Amino acid sequence: MNLPKWFFPGLGVKRWFLVIIFAFILISLGITPLFGFDLSVYITNSLLIMLNDLFGANAKFILKLTALLMLISGISLTYYSLVKIRSELNTHITPNGEILDLLYQNRKTNKGPEIVAFGGGTGLSNLLRGLKKKSDNLTAVVTVADDGGSSGRLRAEMGILPPGDIRNCLVALADREPLMEELFQHRFQAEGGLEGHSFGNLYIAAMTEVLGDFEEAIRASSKVLAIKGKVLPATNEDIKLGAIYHDQKKIMGESAIPIFDKQINNVFLYPENASTTPEVKESIQNADVIVIGPGSLYTSILPNLLVKGISQEIKKTKALKLYICNVMTQPGETDNYTAADHAQAIIDHCGQGVFDYIIVNNCQGTKQLRKKYEAEGAYPVKIDHKRLKKLGLKVIEANLLKKNSYLRHDPEALSELIYDLNKKYN
């Protein structure tokens, strides 16, 4: 803490700090006689003689009465000064709210469990918006296999890791005013070199050039947005995602994988020995809860788990391990997939032990909403309990739909469920 800054002009708190110091002196002078300590240690002989001359046998009573008044005065002055300091801080720091509410909320969230969430795309950022309301102890581990859109262009032109999914997670965890969030998500529309780029992607790219390191750029951006928790890339290596379909045809590139109207057999990383970072490993080891998903199964979730060291560390941890299954199937990626198909794909790629519980949504939404999605080839994911049980998974189902014009998870309902599970099993 920088103590001298408290005494800068204009804060309106200096006088009240001085009053509190004076009040403490009164309290310390008043409390000793009341508890019957040896008065000669604290009162000079001349004062005792004077009191005896004036009051005789009542000298000690008068002294204790004076001490009581000092104690009451000191406590009253302390309370009044704290009220005035709170009023000044409310005026300067939280003009639209109460600073004690803010401090209480921060204290409450700082006690939250250590949660590590894996994914990418809108699924992970949507989840983080709910989780940050109850804990600051969040770590988002984000895939860096994206090669499309603004991220793909920056990756190709500047040789940096794709910033798009990381930007979304930073914004989701941000504790700044809405304008800052809007700025980071702003996408340039004018024709030219900036067309299609988001400001946040360009900012992270610029920070990477200035600092010379992608991870340092993320840390710096985290400070600018005052995020709750931290955002980490799954790996610092330049990886590419490939897919092999059921007809054994192969394709490279994350953005190209869902385009083909073929069933995916498996996905892989190139280079296949790409490793995660020590910071990601440490986060997994310290986690109370591991959350996988929601998000695109083959292009957001598995690219994280396939990075060397991640699934291995997850299997070793004793944390509560959850997989949040998607609400809807994804055209070109998980067509006709059930909940068990999603789980089986992760097990086939990573083996058993990556998660113990699967969270599934058991509400299909309105008929009108379903028709909108059906027109695009997306359908509610069915829950096949028998197959899930054969996989050795514990199923947790609930109505997790967001009440709006989209069939997606409600971040608050989902985060509430995760916290309840943590309390129950940890």
pLDDT tens track for 313-371: 999 999 999 999 999 999 999 999 999 999 999 999 999 999 999 999 999 888 999 99
258 upstream amide cis, omega within 30 of 0: no
Q: How many CB atoms lie within 10 A of CB 324?
A: 29
Listed range (88-97, 140-149, 224-233, 273-282) with the worst mean pLDDT? 88-97
> 393's torsion region: left (phi>0), alpha (psi -120 to 50) or beta?
beta
Asked if 301 and 377 sit in the same domain, the reply is: yes
Asked if 260 and 312 sit in the same domain, the reply is: yes
Closest CA to 221 of 169, 186, 277, 153: 169
Asked if 79 and 124 sit in the same domain, the reply is: no
Residue 116, domain CATH: 3.40.50.10680
Indicate whether 159 belongs to any domain: no
Q: Would you state the pLDDT for residue 1?
A: 46
Asked if 87 and 128 sit in the same domain, the reply is: no
Closest CA to 113 of 358, 420, 412, 325: 420
CA dihedral sign, ordered 95, 97, 98, 103: negative
Indicate whether 148 belongs to any domain: no
Q: Can you tell me the distance from the alpha carbon of 25 to that of 51, in angstroms, rounded to the nearest whole number?
A: 22
Q: Sorting pLDDT into bands at 50, 70 and 90, what band is 310?
A: very high
Indicate whether 215 belongs to any domain: no
Domain count, the chain: 2
Pure H helices in 93-198: 99-110, 121-131, 149-158, 164-172, 178-185
Of 67, 97, 127, the residue that ends a domain is 97
Q: 386-391, long-range: CB within 8 Å, 24+ apart, which pairs?
A: 387/338, 387/340, 387/344, 388/339, 388/340, 388/343, 388/358, 391/340, 391/343, 391/344, 391/347
Indicate whether 207 belongs to any domain: no
Indicate whether 219 belongs to any domain: no
Structure tokens that stand for 137 in this block: 């102890």
Q: Would you state the pLDDT for residue 22?
A: 85
Q: Can you tell me the distance from the alpha carbon of 325 to that of 296, in angstroms, rounded to the nearest whole number?
A: 10
Asked if 268 and 327 sit in the same domain, the reply is: yes
Of 31, 62, 97, the residue that ends a domain is 97
**pLDDT tens readout for residues 277-303:** 999 999 999 999 999 999 999 999 999
Asked if 276 and 380 sit in the same domain, the reply is: yes
- Provide the 3-class DSSP secondary structure of residue 240: strand
Asked if 352 and 247 sit in the same domain, the reply is: yes
Averaged pLDDT, 47-59: 59
**pLDDT tens readout for residues 134-146:** 888 999 999 999 9
Give residue 14's domain range.
Answer: 3-97
Indicate whether 163 belongs to any domain: no
Averaged pLDDT, 129-155: 91
Give every CB contact of residue 130 below 8 A, 6+ residues apart in sequence.
Answer: 410, 411, 412, 413, 414, 415, 416
Asked if 302 and 376 sit in the same domain, the reply is: yes
pLDDT at 41 over 50: no
Averaged pLDDT, 37-54: 52
Listed range (61-75, 97-111, 160-174, 253-267) with the worst mean pLDDT? 97-111
Q: Would you state the pLDDT for residue 27?
A: 79
Higher-scoring residue by pLDDT: 16, 421: 421
pLDDT > 90: percent of the chain:
56
Tokens 């009542």, residue located: 58
Alpha-carbon radius of gyration of the chain:
30
Listed range (93-102, 237-246, 384-393) with the worst mean pLDDT? 93-102
Indicate whether 117 belongs to any domain: yes
Asked if 258 and 349 sit in the same domain, the reply is: yes
Is the CB of residue 381 less than 8 Å from the CB of residue 339?
A: yes
pLDDT > 70: percent of the chain:
83
pLDDT at 34 over 90: no
Q: Can you tell me the distance from the alpha carbon of 250 to that of 264, in angstroms, rounded to the nearest whole number?
A: 10
Averaged pLDDT, 18-27: 82
Asked if 132 and 30 sit in the same domain, the reply is: no
Is the CB of residue 89 less than 8 Å from the CB of residue 99?
A: yes
Tokens 């302390």, residue located: 78
Indicate whether 200 belongs to any domain: no
pLDDT at 266 over 70: yes
Asked if 92 and 239 sit in the same domain, the reply is: no
Asked if 295 and 264 sit in the same domain, the reply is: yes
Q: Would you state the pLDDT for residue 223?
A: 87
